[in-house]
Every structure is written in structure tokens, then in C-alpha cells.
Structure 1
Amino acid sequence: MRGQGGANAGHTVIVEDKKYVLHLFPSGILWPGKQNIISNGVVLDPISLCEEITTLEGQGIVINPEKLLISDRAHLVLPLHRELDAAREAKLGDKKIGTTKRGIGPAYADKANRQGIRLADAIRPEKLRELLEIRVPEANATLEPLGLETFTVDGIIDAITPALERLRPHIADIIPVVHKAWKAKETILFEGAQGTFLDIDFGTYPFVTSSNTTSGGCTTGTGLPPLAIEAVVGVCKAYTTRVGSGPFPTDNEDLANYLHGLGREFGATTGRARSCGWLDTVLLRYSCMVNGVTGLAITCLDGLDERDTIQICTHYEIDGEKHEFPPADRDAWDRIVPVYETLPGWKEDTTSCNTWGDLPENAKAYLTRLSELSGAPISHVGIGPGRDQTILVEQSAG
């Protein structure tokens, strides 16, 4: 189940040596026998979703209503939202957020302003027209003075109707479906779309996305209650990355150049090179708290295989004071001095390790230290993109 975000997310998944790039789909779409759901918390561009369906079908993935359901309460991302996204970034100038300009923020703004269009309304032609006749003139009043593209009601209807018709068989009230599965004790996997520090409440505001990317968003975004969540896996790279604008205390150009030279850390959605830095356990510690992380999945450990030494940010100094948690004051981010602890590298190839015991001693020491600093146990270690390159720590260590 996907419960928040939109097509601004990009997940690269490797299955049997085949590469798939997903934006709106949960990754379970790649496996047979799995019911996939795009839930009410997602903002959905119907054109983009149909393009993604076409791409996956071209790769041999069968997509039918038995495999994919879409909540009739999901809000639409319209062509005008993309243009409003560009307008906002243009007005912000050098203070821009660094969005993917896919209309996500404006779509969520319409949702909060109670003028969004949900799928249940969009598949009723008369209702769709009625709602667009209210929204389109308002959008044009913003776009026209900036010299940006304006829209007509008929133009938007013509653009999205073929996609809506293609999606119609998949649109349903998902709440009874997921509650039936939960009551039957079936396994349900919630898949988040962005990192904790892009969360609208807990992230590096205002350089955030427009939804709750933390574990709490899984419940409000899907209609399942909080007590349905039995475990929270916090997925974290062995170093820190950021794409787009916003504060990044541990940003390190040398490490970024090294990782980019390996062909790593380019955005799956935008292709933009990500900024890279040493692992920031101030952010990690806070993430584990607000998400209730029960196990950390540390990925991309192999990206550090050739480093002589590895640094870990243990806390911040702001105006001479020690801080173990990130500040809410947006100006304080400019005054952060990260404090590092240096550990020896392992200088060994980890990509063929099968168990925790196979990992180099210095790699295990690094992971153990991350666990101590974050306050959460390590549950998985990723040492490559392949499905067989994920070590299940409890099984292999016990």
C-alpha cells in the first residue's frame, strides 16, 4: 500500500536482474499474487500513472484490478497543478524549495483548501466539469500575470479523460478491502515515498514535501488504524543524501564526487545528482523517535567499501551549545557545526556477504555504532541492489 506522496517519488527496484523504476506504484506490483493499493493519501496524476502502467506492461508485468486498486478518495494532480508548481518556484527565486515540479504541492494545497478533485468525482463527467469551472479560472489568475501557460476546462477534460477511463476498473472504496485483510491477519506492507526530513511536520521546513512521510502518515493515508502497525522498518543509507534545496549539515563534496564516480546517487525521478555526506545520526536519532522504528535497514553499505576512514556526525553545535536533535528554528540550520566521530574503514568488498558474520569486523563495528547512536537495532543490511544482497541480521547473527 502507498499512503502518501505522488509521482515525485522514485523507487528503483531490481528483480531477477531486471531494473524497474516506480513512481506511483507500490513495489509489490512486481511480484505475482500481491494485491497492490494506491490509497487515499496519495495525490495521483492519472496521465503519469497510465504512462507507468504502459511501461510496466512493456516489461512483462500484468496489471489488472485483481492486482491494483486505487482509492476513490485519492486526489487528482491536474496539468494546472504542474504549472502552479513552476510558478511558485519561479517566484521564490534563490529561495526555491527544489521541488520536482510535478504538481504535488499545489495538489495537496487544493486538498487542504477543500477545492481538490477526488477520483470519485472525476469519473463523473458532469461533476468533473462543475469542479473545474470553479478551479481553472482561479489557477489562470495566478499563471497569466507570470506569462505561464493557462488552461481551459475543455482542455483539461480532454487531457485526462482517456487516462481516467483506463483507470476506471481499478477505482474502488479500498477501506473495506484493507480492513477485511487486516481482520484476516493477512500481511500488509505500507510503503513510504520520501524520507522523514521531507515530512511536512517533522522535516526541514519549509524545504519539505507536502505530505506526512513518517509512519503516522501510513494510517491517515490508508484508512487503517494506528494499532494495525506492528513493526516499522526505517530504511537508511550508510551515508546521508539530499536532492533539491534545503539544509544539509554533513554535506561533503569529496564523498559526493566519490559516489557519483561510482555511478551512484542520481535521482530516479529527476536524474539530478544528489548531494552526499557522512551519516548524520542527529537526523537518524530523531527519525527513529518520530517513526517508532523497530528495526533499521541500512542500505548501500558497499558504497563505503573503499574508504580509509568513515565519519559519523554524533551531534550538532549551535552557538556553542550541544544539540542531539535537529532544530525547529529554520535559521539555526545555517549555524550548525556538525561534530564527528571517526571510525576506520574496512577496505574490503562486502557485495558477496551473505550473513552478518561475513561482514568485515570494521563494517560490523560501524553498524553497531550507528545502532547505539540512533537507539534502534539493525534489522537489515544492504550490500548491493540485488534482492539476494540484503542481509537479515537477526537470522544471520542468531
Structure 2
Amino acid sequence: MPVTAIVGAQWGDEGKGKITDLLAQEADVVIRFQGGNNAGHTVVNQHGTFKLHLVPSGIFNPDALCVLGPGCVVDLAFLCRELADLERSGISTANLRVSDRAHLIMPWHIALDRLDERERGRKKLGTTGMGVGPAYSDKVGRHGIQVYEVRDPKSFRARVKRELATKNAILERFGDAPLDDEKVADGVLAAAAKLGDRIVDTLPLVESALAKDARVLLEGQLGAMRDLDWGIYPYVTSSNPLAGGASVGAGIPPRKITRVIGVVKAYSTAVGEGPFPTELRGEEATALRERAHEYGATTGRPRRVGWFDAVAARHAHRLNAFTELAVTKLDVLDVYDRIPFCASYELDGKRTSDMPTTLVLERARPCYETLEGWSTAITGVTERRALPPKAVAYLDRIAETVGAPVGMIGVGPERAATLL
């Protein structure tokens, strides 16, 4: 069976949780391969509506092993609360495992994240304030603490005391209250005790699944335009949400990944700062945002909205080689007679379909073509052949400009409202 990577092909919030939840019903293993609880994957199924932040979207299949891979950064206390919320809703979380090589988000990472955003002022990045960036910074700077270290409380407490001496100096320098090393250590160790034997070496589990030809899903967080290397730096996440990052972050040999699904909305959205060429403003933006309920699953912030940007999606395809696209929220466009569609940018008097670097992108103007809308409700459609011809033409234009075929189509928020 193929190993399938599910990757965001825009700025994040594309509907990866919905696609993962759908495919996970027939999966054996689902692995989150990067990011932390800055993610907000909304899933609507027969159990209700859920906003998952750390837990893989395969958790609703009781037969699937769900893994937080070594590429993730994990706030153990937050994870325990999320698991408890799921259990209260009747969802078994017994099959969740946390890689002992993942890095911990510590309370000082959250404090430093919020401090950094505050000090950036008008040039803030728009982070979720969950400590994800500082945790990855410590990982790269070799100051990070891996999950396995909680197994030796004495050594762990010494690490916390040593690291916190430096972090507290920074916090106090900017007028913030220092953290108490004993309280910090107590909180993390208490959460680790609740997780117990869910903290494991995940490589043997993954290796065994591959040897059995199991069905494996790799779930990414955010999207290509927020990739640390290929996104709109510095307005990016601190990890690599591309299919290439899935290999490292999950512990999967690259050649095992044979299916890569790029998830896009039928229009564009973004949370956070940075250039967003097709962004709408004023009443037009409000109308689209309200119709689509575009508010961040993690922060509740209103999302920036715009028309479909084929340059951005094609950029993602060039980096991931999508075997197919999943186009979500096509039904949101039901009410439009005519739909602007960005197939290229104008930059310094010339047209381009290549993605420029961030400062150059800020000067880019979207070049729109106008596609005909279908002006009829498609919510409730259960077969692709029942879609209006103009909706099919819109999907065909996405496939043509991005360079990958459309494999799945979302016509509503529910798991079942997906055309295959």
C-alpha cells in the first residue's frame, strides 16, 4: 500500500484535517510529522465538530495507530487536556503514541514567543503564541529538551534549572516575570506521568507498519507558503510542512512515500502576517469570510481571505510533486456569478508564474482572469458527474494552472461531503 503525505498547498487552513479524517477511516497508521499545537485542524464527522491542535486527525478511527512524530514539538500539558476533551466526547485515545525524540514545548517557550511578538510591534509575525517557534529555535541551537528526558526526573529537573537560568534573564530584561524551575518541572512531569507508556520510540512501530505493507498517512500542518525554507520568510512556521519534511519528521524513508495529496481551498486564506497577493479587503472580504466562516481554529482570529492564487499552489506543486489535489470548500463559491482567478503575477511590468522572494512578492500584483460561476448550490451533491459544468470548468482551471489533477472535492464541512 502507498504511504500518503497530506500537505497544505497554500498558507495553511486548507482543510487537511478533513482530508486526513476521511482517508484515516481506511488507514492503519496516521502520523503528524511536524509543528505543534499552533495547528488547528477542524474535523466534522458523525461524532461532532472537533478542532484538533496536536492529536492526529486519524484519532476517530479506533483501529488506527496515531503518532506524534519526532519532527513535532509537544506541549505535554496541552496534549493531556486535548486528549481529555476527546475522551469526554466519547472518542477513544488509547491508540495515541508520542515519539520520545520529539522536542518539548516548555512554559518558557510560550513566554518568549509572546514576548518576541510584543517586542516586534508593528512588524510582528502573527504567531499563535503557543511557543512553537522558540521550541524549534532551542532544538536547532541544541538547547532543546526531548520527550524521553522526562523518564529521569532528577536529570530533567537539572536541565530545567539550567535552561531556565538563561531564559529568565531574558524575560526579566524585558520586564516579564521569571518562571519558577520547580513549578515548571512539576507541571511537565505530571503531564508525562498521565501519558505514561504512550511515550515510546516510534521508529519500530513505523518500521513494522511498513514491513506489513500497512496503510500509512502523514499529516502535515500549515502549508507550503509557510514553509521555513520555501515560504514567505520570515512570515513562516519553524518547520517544513512539505512532503520532504514528512520523511524526516515521521521517520519514513523518502522512497516509501508514493502518494502526495496537495490540499487547497477553492479560494485563498491566511492567518498571520506577510504578503498575500490576492487578499480582499472591505465589504467583499467580509462577505467571503462570513459565508465561509473563516476564523482561526487555534486563535479565533479572522482569517485574511482572497481569490484562488494559482502561482502559490503551483509553487507548492513544484516542491511536492503532488499526485493529486484535494480542493475543499468549493461550495463557498456557489453564490458568485463571476469568480476572479489569479493565474500569474505582474512584477516590474512583466508577467510571471514563478514565486518571488518575500520582499519582491510584496510588490507583485495579481493578474486576474474571470471564470464563470455556477450560481447554484452544490452542497448535497454526492457524485462528481452531478456538479454543474461551470464548477467542473473551475476545477479544470485549477488543475491546469497548478499542474496536478483534482482527486477530491469538498462540497461541505462534513467528512461525507467529499467527492472522490
Shorter-chain TM-score category? over 0.9
Secondary structure at the residue paired with 1:216? helix
Q: Could you tell me which residue of structure 2 aligns to residue 247 of structure 1?
A: 275
When residues 255 and 225 of structure 1 are mapped into structure 2, their CA distance, relative to the original with a 3 A threshold, is: farther
Runs of 4+ in structure 1 off by over 3 angstroms are none
CA shift digits 1:61-119 (9 cap, x unpaired):
1222xx11110001000111001001111121111100000000000000000110001
Q: How is 1:228-307 mapped onto 2 (pairs within 5 angstroms)?
A: 228-253=256-281, 254-262=283-291, 264-307=293-336
Note if contact 1:301-1:383 (Cα within 8 Å) is conserved in structure 2.
yes
Note if contact 1:308-1:345 (Cα within 8 Å) is conserved in structure 2.
yes
For residues 255 and 2 of structure 1, the distance between their equivalents in structure 2, rounded to whole angstroms, comes to 35
For residues 384 and 356 of structure 1, the distance between their equivalents in structure 2, rounded to whole angstroms, comes to 14
Q: Could you tell me which residue of structure 2 aligns to residue 352 of structure 1?
A: 380
Secondary structure at the residue paired with 2:167? helix
Q: How is 1:37-186 mapped onto 2 (pairs within 5 angstroms)?
A: 37-64=67-94, 67-186=95-214
Percent identical residues: 42
For residues 153 and 262 of structure 1, the distance between their equivalents in structure 2, rounded to whole angstroms, comes to 47
Q: Unpaired segments of 5 or more residues in structure 1? A: 393-398
For residues 311 and 152 of structure 2, the distance between their equivalents in structure 1, rounded to whole angstroms, comes to 49
For residues 333 and 87 of structure 1, the distance between their equivalents in structure 2, rounded to whole angstroms, comes to 28
CA shift digits 1:202-229 (9 cap, x unpaired):
1100000100011111111011110110
CA shift digits 1:322-362 (9 cap, x unpaired):
2211112x321221111011011100000111111110111
TM-fit CA distance, 1:255: 4.1
Secondary structure at the residue paired with 1:14? strand
For residues 280 and 250 of structure 1, the distance between their equivalents in structure 2, rounded to whole angstroms, comes to 7
When residues 158 and 60 of structure 1 are mapped into structure 2, their CA distance, relative to the original with a 3 A threshold, is: same
Amino acid at match of 2:182: D
How many residues in Structure 1 have an aligned counterpart in Structure 2? Answer: 389
Note if contact 2:289-2:305 (Cα within 8 Å) is conserved in structure 1.
no
CA shift digits 1:120-159 (9 cap, x unpaired):
1123101211211221011111111211131121020122
RMSD of equivalent CA atoms: 1.0
The normalised TM-score by structure 1 is: 0.96
Q: Unpaired segments of 5 or more residues in structure 2? A: 1-30
The normalised TM-score by structure 2 is: 0.91
When residues 229 and 255 of structure 1 are mapped into structure 2, their CA distance, relative to the original with a 3 A threshold, is: farther
**Which has a greater percent of strand?**
2
For residues 123 and 48 of structure 1, the distance between their equivalents in structure 2, rounded to whole angstroms, comes to 19
Q: Could you tell me which residue of structure 2 aligns to residue 323 of structure 1?
A: 352
TM-fit CA distance, 1:262: 2.2
Of structures 1 and 2, the one with the larger relative CO (CA 8 A, separation 6+) is: 2
